[in-house]
């Protein structure tokens, strides 16, 4: 019987356990358990309930055992940058703070007044986002930090709880903005600035490293399959890129979930002046690659809108309502900081339109269309910037993740950007997670062949440009320039 692989894939808004097998050269994928995730205010900060997430993993594993799978291999991926502090007794010292917490709002300015941005970018090649681990640790409670034996990124912490073994996996560690691009180690100057020691991070490992067996104590407590844990590309975006079918000669990707990550896979990092100026990042990918990309606010905006409408409409229904409206009724800089964690997203969008003298979207359909059409404009704008930095025009955009189901955005993006869009698979992250396990176990030879298998196993939908909307993109670009000038 084919070996059984399980991906634990936890994003900012939901988590899932996906079961996968390679049968007759095709990947089978089945969702075994799904649960909600989110942060709540506790002790003055927005925090994740990490114990609850781990509990959900056990619930999922029990379901898998009940379904008859007695032996599995398992990998864990989650969002990036956040961490857990673990004391000398091996227990966590607090509930991890979410990257959307306000504590780092001023931290880039504070830290870079001492250590110039140019130095940090030259060293790390990582984009400046105020929630990077570097700034979070800079703001960390110094008493807690003094008691800290280990700093573990979220998926590394979960792996540690499951197996008792602690590592620092590199795809996720690169998002700390503390790894040196050239040496591949944490940079001493950066660590010193935030009062952290090299030894507080367990040893760096690559995706595909065996972490160990599930600890006995969990088998005693729950009815679980025999489980071998493999450290995969633990950053969800790194897994999503592994799980991208890579259609096109000069392909690009858009990993479309809570965040929209748009970029290209490179074999050599690109941290020159243009990349710095446009705040592009070189996060480490699996198999020695770099994820040269830009973070765009993404479906987070529509997720909030949906909640604020009391979940009266599903995502599909919101997209349906949007489809009845005209696109481009207003321009919105979706990456404006004000959308990162507003008290009320709908009101924030409306206030933005009012303040910029534009039509205010009122109905659910108008609001959804305002979000979708502006996300598409932003994607197209970034594709142009990406091409300018890399010196070539990409010939295909592979959209993966939950957002690849939003047809209206796929079509708009193809037309505005003037590029073929290939949508799917929507579960690319879980797929990338199991692919790294399969390669580690010797079931698939390498990532190139894996991507062929992915393209063969999941239906992809192609969207070609319908006419040209280049003039709209030009107008949008002029708008962004103008508003950035007035808001800086």
Q: Note whether 171 binds ligand LFR by CB under 6 A.
A: no
Q: Is residue 134 close enough to count as binding ligand LFR by CB under 6 A?
A: no
Check binding of 79 to ligand LFR (CB under 6 A). Answer: yes
**Count helices and strands in the chain by DSSP H and E runs:** 19, 19
Is residue 259 within the footprint of ligand LFR (CB under 6 A)? yes
Q: Is 261 in the site for ligand LFR (CB under 6 A)?
A: yes
Q: Least separation, in Å, of the C-beta of 255 and ligand LFR? A: 7
Would you name the residues annotated as active-site residues?
A: 236
- Among positive and negative, which fits the CA dihedral 113, 114, 118, 120? negative
Query: Residue 452, CB half-sphere, CA atoms under 13 Å: how many?
Result: 6
User: In this chain, which of 140, 236, 270, 325 binds ligand LFR, going by CB under 6 A?
Assistant: 236
Task: Decide if residue 80 touches ligand LFR (CB under 6 A).
Answer: yes
CB of 432 to ligand LFR, least distance (A): 13
Task: Pick the closest to residue 400 from 378, 426, 421 (CA basis).
Answer: 426
289 binds ligand LFR (CB under 6 A): no
3-state SS, 200-220, equals HCCCEECCCEEEEECCHHHHH
Q: Residue 488 CB, nearest distance to ligand LFR (Å)?
A: 23
Strand partners, 282: 292
By CB under 6 A, residue 167 contacts ligand LFR: no
Asked if residue 187 binds ligand LFR (CB under 6 A), the reply is no
Do residues 446 and 458 touch, judged by C-beta distance below 8 A? Answer: no
Q: Cβ distance 57 to 16 under 8 Å? A: no
Overall residue count recorded for the chain in this entry: 488
Q: Is 15 annotated as a binding residue?
A: yes
**Residue of 99, 121, 135, 300 interacting with ligand LFR (CB under 6 A):** 99
236 is in an annotated binding site: yes
Task: Verify binding: residue 426, ligand LFR, rule CB under 6 A.
Answer: no
Does 285 engage in binding with ligand LFR (CB under 6 A)?
Answer: no
> Do residues 247 and 396 make contact, with C-beta atoms less than 8 angstroms apart?
yes
Tell whether residue 235 is among the known ligand binding residues: yes
Distances from the Cα of 370 to the Cα of 128, 157, 265, angstroms:
27, 39, 30
The minimum distance between CB 1 and ligand LFR, in angstroms, equals 33
Q: What is the DSSP string of 369-399?
A: HHHHHHHHHHHHHHHHHHHHHHTS--SEEEE
- Interface with ligand LFR (CB under 6 A), residue from 37, 295, 398, 404: 295
Give me the residues that bind ligand LFR (CB under 6 A), please: 11, 79-81, 99, 235-237, 257-259, 261, 295
The binding site for ATP consists of 12-16, 258, 303, 402
């Amino acid at each position: 019987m084919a070996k059984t692989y399980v991906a634990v894939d936890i994003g900012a808004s939901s988590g899932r356990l996906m079961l996968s097998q390679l049968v007759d050269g095709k990947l089978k994928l089945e969702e075994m358990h799904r649960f909600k995730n989110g942060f709540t205010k506790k002790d003055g900060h927005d925090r994740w309930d990490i114990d609850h997430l781990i509990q959900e993993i056990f619930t999922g594993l029990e379901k898998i055992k009940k379904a008859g799978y007695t032996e599995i291999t398992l990998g864990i991926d989650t969002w990036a940058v956040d961490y857990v502090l673990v004391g000398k007794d091996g227990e966590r010292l607090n509930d991890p703070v979410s990257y959307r917490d306000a504590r780092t709002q001023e931290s880039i300015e504070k830290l870079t007044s001492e250590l110039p941005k140019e130095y940090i970018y030259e060293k790390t090649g990582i984009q400046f986002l105020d929630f990077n681990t570097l700034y979070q640790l800079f703001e960390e409670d110094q008493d807690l930090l003094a008691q800290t034996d280990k700093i573990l990124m979220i998926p590394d912490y979960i792996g540690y709880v499951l197996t008792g073994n602690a590592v620092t996996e590199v795809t996720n560690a690169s998002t700390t903005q503390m790894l040196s691009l050239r040496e591949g180690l944490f940079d001493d100057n950066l660590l010193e600035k935030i009062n952290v020691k090299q030894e507080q991070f367990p040893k760096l490992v690559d995706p595909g490293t065996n972490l160990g067996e599930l600890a006995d104590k969990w088998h005693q407590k729950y009815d679980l399959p025999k489980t071998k844990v493999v450290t995969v590309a633990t950053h969800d975006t790194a897994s999503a890129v592994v799980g991208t079918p890579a259609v096109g000669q000069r392909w690009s990707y858009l990993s479309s979930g809570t965040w929209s990550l748009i970029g290209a896979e490179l074999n050599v990092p690109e941290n020159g002046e243009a990349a710095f100026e446009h705040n592009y990042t070189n996060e480490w990918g699996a198999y020695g690659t770099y994820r040269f990309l830009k973070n765009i606010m993404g479906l987070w905006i529509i997720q909030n809108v949906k909640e604020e409408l009391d979940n009266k409409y599903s995502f599909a229904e919101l997209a349906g309502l949007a489809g009845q409206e005209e696109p481009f009724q207003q321009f919105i800089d979706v990456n404006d900081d004000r959308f990162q964690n507003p008290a009320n997203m709908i009101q924030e969008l409306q206030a933005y339109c009012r303040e910029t003298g534009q039509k205010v979207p009122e109905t659910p359909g108008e609001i959804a269309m305002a979000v979708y059409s502006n996300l598409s404009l932003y994607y197209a704008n970034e594709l142009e910037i990406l091409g300018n930095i890399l010196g070539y025009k990409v010939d295909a955009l592979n959209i993966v993740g939950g957002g690849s189901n939003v047809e209206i955005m796929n079509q708009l993006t193809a037309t505005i950007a003037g590029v073929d869009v290939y949508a799917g698979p929507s579960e690319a992250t879980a797929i990338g997670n199991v692919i790294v396990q399969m390669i580690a176990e010797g079931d698939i030879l390498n990532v190139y062949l894996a991507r062929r298998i992915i393209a063969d196993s999941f239906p992809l939908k192609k969207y070609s440009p319908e006419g040209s909307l280049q003039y709209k993109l030009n107008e949008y670009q002029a708008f962004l320039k103008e508003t950035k000038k007035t808001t800086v």
